[in-house]
């Protein structure tokens, strides 16, 4: 048995006074010695937490005991080290930023794509009347994606609504959407249905569940995750690596952030180039005088920034609830 577990989960369920819930939930997580990142919004929860198996078990039991979150499905990974350094739980307007002026335009509890279990997704994905759609960002699908998947040139999911017009050619097909754990597909498939796509599906539990229940067959590369592991293997059937080093083109799945904090580009870089470039993406960044010290990981702990009281005041005047001090 591994020393720790990492839990990935989400639940679309209305939370009254969600901002206070976030404050209370943070203290609850800390009482269980968990570390991780949880986003709380009026529409629900989106989280990844890590801790000892007994503490993770207590957390899952508490979540399921709350009738608002009883349907929550946890993806559980056995890990040798904690996947986070600290525990963060923050209130935001949405648990996944949709990019819509009015996020209430879509509600996954009312309309969303048909959920496909991993084995059903695997059986359908290669049919002639099917298109597989990756709804994740560039840095995610560059390091791993399903064979023959359609990918979108987006830096963040909030850009997805603007890209739907590029998918018009697939309106006559069954569209199978997928993402890391399923949460983005809930909104992506709802948006597709809203725009006139008729046969829209989503991979239930995302790539992570597909790896556990279907062996990850035909998922090329590795799956990007939003914790200290950065990427994880999901394909035990026909694994491969598809990403290449930005600097030399060598096959590599290692992703880092540029040591130049003003750049901070998230990219693939092999170990050799990492040391040669001091963890920078380019010679221009390497030449900067105040770069972060590269230790071979390319992972840098965020330094909390001072609270901007003027910014908070302006948000209040616009009737936006204040966000937590540190971005998730």
Residue 59 in domain? yes
Of 187, 211, 232, the position where a domain reaches its end is 232
Residue 170 in domain? yes
Residue 23 in domain? yes
With CA atoms as reference, report the closest residue to 212 among 242, 237, 243, 176.
Answer: 237
Query: Which of the four pLDDT bands, split at 50, 70 and 90, describes residue 314?
Result: very low
Residue 260 in domain? no
Judge whether residue 319 has pLDDT over 70: no
* Distance set, CA 119 to CA 77, 223, 238 (Å): 20, 18, 16
Judge whether residue 87 has pLDDT over 50: yes
pLDDT tens-digit readout, 129-149: 999 999 999 999 999 999 999
Of 191, 209, 232, the position where a domain reaches its end is 232
Residues 117 and 227 in one domain: yes
Residues 113 and 87 in one domain: no
Residues 52 and 115 in one domain: no
* Overall average pLDDT of the 168-183 stretch: 97
Residues 132 and 48 in one domain: no
Judge whether residue 308 has pLDDT over 80: no
* Distance set, CA 18 to CA 8, 108, 216, 249, 298 (Å): 20, 18, 36, 46, 35
With CA atoms as reference, report the closest residue to 267 among 295, 292, 237, 247.
Answer: 247
Residues 63 and 176 in one domain: no
Please give the helix or strand (H or E) that residue 91 lies within, else none. strand 87-91
* CATH code, domain carrying 169: 3.40.250.10
Number of domains making up the chain: 2
Q: Give the pLDDT confidence score for residue 317 in this predicted structure.
A: 40
Judge whether residue 103 has pLDDT over 90: no
Judge whether residue 300 has pLDDT over 90: no
Of 91, 121, 147, the position where a domain reaches its end is 91
How far separated are the first and last CA of the chain, in Å rounded? 30
Query: What is the average pLDDT value for the chain, to the nearest integer?
Result: 92
pLDDT tens-digit readout, 241-263: 999 999 999 999 999 999 999 99
- Of the residues 29, 89, 179, 223, only one is catalytic, namely 179
Residue 169 in domain? yes
The span from the CA of 267 to the CA of 68, in Å, is 38
Which residues are bridge partners to 5 per DSSP? 51, 78
Q: Give the pLDDT confidence score for residue 188 in this predicted structure.
A: 97
Active site residue 281: no
Query: Which of the four pLDDT bands, split at 50, 70 and 90, describes residue 299?
Result: confident
The span from the CA of 94 to the CA of 40, in Å, is 8
Residues 78 and 181 in one domain: no
- CB-based contacts of 63, cutoff 8 Å, min separation 6: 9, 11, 69, 72
* CATH code, domain carrying 46: 3.30.70.100
Residue 254 in domain? no
Residues 169 and 226 in one domain: yes
Residues 43 and 69 in one domain: yes
Residues 221 and 151 in one domain: yes
Residues 82 and 159 in one domain: no
pLDDT tens-digit readout, 27-66: 999 999 999 999 999 999 999 999 999 999 999 999 999 9
> What percentage of the chain carries pLDDT values higher than 70?
91
Domain that holds residue 76: 4-91
Residues 130 and 53 in one domain: no
Residues 75 and 108 in one domain: no
């Amino acid at each position: 048995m591994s020393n720790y577990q990492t839990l990935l989960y989400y639940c679309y369920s209305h939370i009254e006074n969600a901002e206070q819930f976030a404050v209370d939930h943070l203290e609850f997580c800390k009482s269980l010695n968990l570390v991780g990142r949880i986003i709380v919004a009026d529409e629900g929860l989106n989280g990844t937490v890590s801790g000892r198996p007994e503490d993770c078990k207590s957390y899952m039991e508490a979540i399921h005991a709350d009738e608002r979150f009883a349907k929550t499905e946890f993806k559980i990974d056995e890990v040798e080290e904690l996947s986070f350094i600290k525990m963060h739980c923050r209130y935001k307007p949405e648990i996944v930023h949709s990019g819509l002026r009015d996020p209430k335009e879509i509600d996954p509890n009312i309309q969303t794509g048909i959920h496909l279990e991993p084995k059903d997704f695997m059986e359908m994905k290669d049919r002639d009347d099917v298109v597989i759609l990756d709804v994740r960002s560039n840095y995610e699908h560059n390091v791993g994606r399903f064979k023959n998947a359609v990918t979108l040139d987006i830096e963040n999911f909030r850009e997805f609504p603007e890209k739907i017009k590029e998918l018009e050619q697939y309106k006559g097909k069954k569209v199978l959407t997928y993402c890391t754990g399923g949460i983005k597909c809930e909104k992506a498939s709802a948006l597709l249905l809203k725009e006139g796509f008729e046969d829209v599906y989503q991979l239930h539990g995302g790539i992570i569940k597909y790896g556990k229940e279907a062996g990850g067959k035909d998922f090329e590369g590795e799956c990007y995750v939003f914790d200290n592991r950065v990427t994880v293997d999901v394909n035990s059937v026909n694994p491969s690596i598809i990403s290449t080093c930005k600097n030399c083109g060598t096959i590599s799945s290692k992703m880092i952030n540029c040591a130049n904090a003003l750049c901070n580009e998230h990219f693939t870089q092999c170990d050799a180039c990492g040391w040669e470039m001091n963890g920078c993406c380019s010679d221009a960044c390497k030449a900067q005088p105040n770069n972060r010290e590269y230790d071979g990981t390319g992972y840098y702990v965020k330094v909390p920034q001072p609270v901007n009281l003027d910014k908070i005041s302006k948000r209040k005047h616009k009737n936006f609830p204040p966000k937590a001090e540190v971005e998730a």
